[in-house]
Amino acid sequence: MDNSNFVTINEEGPREGFQIESASIPTSDKIALIDALSLTGLREIQTVSFVSPKRVPSMADAEDVVAGLTPREGVAFTGLYLNEQGLRRAIATGRLHIEGGISLCASPAFLQRNQNATPEQQRSSRRQMISAFQEAGIDITYGSVSAAFGCNFQGDIPLDHLLSTVADIFAIAEEFGLHLKSLGFSDTMAWATPLQIKRTIGAVRECYPDIEISLHLHDTRGMAIANAYAGLEMGVRTFDASVGGLGGCPFAAHKGAAGNLCTEDFVLLCEEMGFETGIDLERLIETARMAERIVGHPLPGAVMRGGSLASLRKAKLAA
Amino acid sequence: MDNSNFVTINEEGPREGFQIESASIPTSDKIALIDALSLTGLREIQTVSFVSPKRVPSMADAEDVVAGLTPREGVAFTGLYLNEQGLRRAIATGRLHIEGGISLCASPAFLQRNQNATPEQQRSSRRQMISAFQEAGIDITYGSVSAAFGCNFQGDIPLDHLLSTVADIFAIAEEFGLHLKSLGFSDTMAWATPLQIKRTIGAVRECYPDIEISLHLHDTRGMAIANAYAGLEMGVRTFDASVGGLGGCPFAAHKGAAGNLCTEDFVLLCEEMGFETGIDLERLIETARMAERIVGHPLPGAVMRGGSLASLRKAKLAA
């Protein structure tokens, strides 16, 4: 358990957001947003996903986006890939920070629907990915579980099933003599509630007391910020988030607005509660407004409209 | 401290929402929404506010709205009033459930700006209100504090100042030999964070262990659901909320979208965590969509778009 005062936020807005937005957003706008994000104090930014341009036309310019980014000291640009082909594309850019992981889906029904695979087939493809990472000299550092808290197609994911999925990850790691540093849980279809977050993290810590835990939270049912708070209370110090609340999973049968945990709302929560994030909230709010201009429709973030408390305190002092 | 499993929700959408919406919403639409809400299992619905039609033109039809409502057994319709004139209008309808209270503002700056009064003048006007309640034979049952957690004009509200505002309420009650049953805290300008909610409620309970506490939470900075969850964890079992997240305070200098704790999102949180609310969530979601049609623009609620988990579980069973 990490009781430190520092909360690490992995910005996923560009990847999460542009993935489900119109394919007509200019590459230069994507680059401008990522460059602006890299000046806010964020240390890790997921920029693109290397998926089939046929399936996700809005990511067809992934290589061009990465090629156009301005490198920034202390900022790691990453990319998402779901298979060896995507991994090879990410490596080929020569500009991305790449860590390997072992990712399993906790929902057999979603796995079937989304990747046309059984859990056994997924485990087998993960073993192939590990070989691909090792051939490329990439460290394999993390495990992650998608649909960890429930699934629109499977229903609830019982805790013992989730724990067995986690056990599968560690079993695969052991086959290859790997030591995983962190374990991520993704609420892919927004089934989590704060109580479930607490129960799940409590149970995982009971089994794996030394692993660092991270959370990836969607806001489809308005619970993301409460779930993040529950995670903080349980000692989680690493979170994915999206500027402006950009995003959603295009394959998860979300009805209507989905969106992720909103980065600037979460930064306000953290900073007001005494955690450090290293992020300049005012600058991040400006960047959220820029994201809104780029996508051309309102984003769900609240603080970008309501303003930070720090700015109100400062205005009061100046008055 | 109330450890019961039942969470009471006071619906304030009609009053909070229509107050800041255009004055052109037909009275019949307001009545239709309140009647629909009264069929969802909600037991208390704040319908209108009796304020100056000059200051709040959208509430000029308050009497007509109340006159048009269909009474429903087990459902209390209430109205908001801020002074004796408003109280007399509420009484004159003959159709509203009226309880008296002692309400103080924790922010001298907001009080000055919003009501052009000093704290001493406010206490004095509250004594006059008590006399008015008593003359009308109305029980005085609650205390409430507005701007309890911070203020755009005052800045932070230190906990000892808040506690002294609460002490003022009890001192006034004692002058009149009144026994207050409950104490409400309003985050009028959305300054609260979950940590502050916990600290505040903990401190209040320490001083007043037997009082029932309620929370009125705004979502201007996206914290309402996390703050409500923190309240639940501290044993709070009574919350104001607004269907669809309607609302905001027109006098609180909110920039952009404000909105309240969203009723259906909060019901989902409660029910998924094992609390009972007595509310039919599916019916409430339909009513939120009706509210959206009436105001003619998207409301901030998430569950009205994302759907309930119960409906997904049921769809899975039927498949």
Overall average pLDDT of the B153-179 stretch: 97
Q: Mind listing the pLDDT tens digit for each residue in A216-262?
A: 999 999 999 999 999 999 999 999 999 999 986 544 444 444 689 99
pLDDT category of residue B173 using cuts at 50, 70 and 90 = very high
Interface of B with A in 212-271 (CB under 8 A): 219-223, 225-226, 228-230, 254-258, 262, 265, 268-269
Per the structure block, which two tokens stand in for A126?
Answer: 């993960």
Residues in chain B: 319
Contact A152 B312 (CB under 8 A): yes
Q: Are the Cβ atoms of B272 and A196 closer than 8 angstroms?
A: yes
Yes or no, beta carbons of A268 and B223 under 8 Å apart: yes
pLDDT for B182 beyond 70: yes
- Position B22 scores a pLDDT of 77
Nearest CB among B150, B300, B309 relative to A191 is that of: B309
Catalytic, out of B105, B249, B262, B270? B249
Can you give the pLDDT at residue A3?
61
pLDDT digits (tens, 9 = 90+) for B212-239: 999 999 999 999 999 999 999 999 999 9
The answer to whether residue B90 scores a pLDDT higher than 50 is yes
Q: Which residue in B17, B255, B223 sits closest to B152, CA to CA? A: B255
| Of A77-81, A162-166, B23-27, minimum mean pLDDT range | B23-27
Percent of chain B with pLDDT over 90: 86
Mutate to test the interface with A, among B223, B299, B313 (most CBs of A within 10 A): B223
Q: Bridge partners of B79?
A: B48
pLDDT mean across residues, chain A: 93
| Residues A101, B197: Cα–Cα separation, whole Å | 38
- A181 lies within 8 A of chain B by CB: no
CATH class of A8-318: alpha beta
The one catalytic residue among A105, A249, A262, A270: A249
Respond yes or no: is residue B207 known to be catalytic: no
Q: What ipTM does this complex have?
A: 0.94
Answer whether A303 sits within 8 Å of B268, measured CB to CB: no
Asked whether residue A185 carries a pLDDT value surpassing 80, the answer given is yes
Q: Give the chain B residue nearest A244 (alpha carbons).
A: B222
Backbone angles phi, psi at A88, to 5 degrees: -60, -40
pLDDT tens string A253-297: 444 446 899 999 999 999 999 999 999 999 999 999 999 999 988
- Backbone φ and ψ for B100, nearest 5 degrees, come out as -90, 155
Q: pTM to 2 decimals?
A: 0.95
Question: How far is the alpha carbon of B311 from chain A, nearest alpha carbon, in Å?
Answer: 10
Q: Computed from CA positions of residues A297, A300, A305, A308, in that sequence, does the dihedral angle turn out positive or negative?
A: negative
pLDDT digits (tens, 9 = 90+) for A16-55: 888 888 778 999 999 999 999 999 999 999 999 999 999 8
Closest CA to B222 of B117, B307, B300: B300
pLDDT at B231: 98
Q: Where are the domains of chain B?
A: 8-318
User: CA of B166 to nearest chain A CA: how many angstroms apart?
Assistant: 24
Q: Give A222 to chain B, closest Cα distance, Å.
A: 5
Size of interface A-B (CB pairs under 8 A): 124
Contact predicate B81/B50, CB 8 Å: yes
Helix, strand, coil percentages for chain A (3-state, nearest 5): 45, 15, 35
| pLDDT category of residue B257 using cuts at 50, 70 and 90 | very low
Beta bridge partners of A46: A78
> Can you state the angle between helices B13-20 and B27-37, rounded to 10 degrees?
160
The region that residue B304 occupies, defined by phi over 0 for left and psi between -120 and 50 for alpha, beta otherwise, is alpha
Task: Output the DSSP codes for A29-81.
Answer: HHHHHHHHHTTTT-SEEEEEEE--TTT-GGGTTHHHHHHHPPP-TT-EEEEEE
- Does the pLDDT of residue B83 top 70, yes or no? yes
**Which amino acid is it at B238?**
T
Average pLDDT over residues A182-190: 96
B155 in contact with A at a CB cutoff of 8 Å?
Answer: yes
